[in-house]
Amino acid sequence: MEFFIDTADVNEIAELVETGLVDGVTTNPSLMAKTGQSYQDTLAAICDLVDGPVSAEVTALEPEAMLQEGRHLSKIAENIVVKVPLTWNGLRACKMLRDEAIQVNVTLCFSASQALLAAKAGATYISPFVGRLDDLGQNGMELIRVISEIYGQYKHSLQTKILVASVRSPLHVVEAARLGAQVVTVPAKVLKQMAQHPLTDKGLEAFLKDWAKTGQSIL
């Protein structure tokens, strides 16, 4: 499974890239607005830090305008993936962008039927928002299961990767991996939570106490 970081904070990305755990980055207009920096300059800085895919979202609503914005964003760096919303116009823009060999992440997916249409339109990635479905009392991970099952039936003709988004906890990540999703995008906080366990902390504390009693030093 690939781990993408869901942030536009360049400093945060730089710190995490050093771990070797980051395969890509996803951004959106809300995350970009939080930085208070130039959209294009921020994207360029992120792409300099990360070798993998960096999702950059269009803000236009009409297909031709999305196409123009997508072309512009794709020229910022070779690893830019243009992000379009899962609307009828977004699907049309996806097809046009893919015809020009521009990678596309179709975002704001909340149903299996939407995911099927995105794959048919040639999406490189489909981004189902599991956390937002959970917020409504629905089962976000069940959507991942269904999409994975559908795509698996047509794996020779549908090449779209499932990019699990709106992740709220390590459990979402583990369930996404169990269900065969190829990518998960997480806030830095969730990625760090994945390394934490109280028994790990307790065990380490005991080891260090026992070692201190020996009065030795490795160096």
Q: What is the pLDDT of residues 138-197, one digit of tens each?
A: 999 999 999 999 999 998 999 999 999 999 999 999 999 999 999 999 999 999 999 999
Percent of the chain with pLDDT over 90: 100
Decide if 22 is inside a domain.
yes
Residues 6+ apart with CB under 8 A from 191: 3, 5, 16, 21
Contact 99, 82 (CB under 8 A): no
Coil/strand/helix, residue 199: helix
For residue 210, the domain's CATH number is: 3.20.20.70
Number of domains in the chain: 1
Decide if 184 is inside a domain.
yes
Contact 121, 84 (CB under 8 A): no
**For all residues of the chain together, what is the average pLDDT?**
97
Is 92 buried (19+), middle (13-18) or exposed (0-12) by CB count in 10 A?
A: middle
Report pLDDT for 152. Answer: 96
Of 125, 41, 52, nearest to 76 (Cα)?
A: 41
Q: Is 209 considered catalytic here? A: no
Contact 91, 108 (CB under 8 A): no
Residue range(s) defining the domain that contains residue 88: 2-214
Q: Which of 34, 75, 83, 95 is catalytic?
A: 83
**Average pLDDT rounded to a whole number, residues 104-113:** 98
pLDDT tens readout for residues 77-102: 999 999 999 999 999 999 999 999 99
pTM above 0.85, yes or no: yes
Decide if 81 is inside a domain.
yes
Report pLDDT for 70. Answer: 98
Decide if 219 is inside a domain.
no
Decide if 197 is inside a domain.
yes
Report pLDDT for 74. Answer: 98
Report pLDDT for 72. Answer: 98
Decide if 29 is inside a domain.
yes
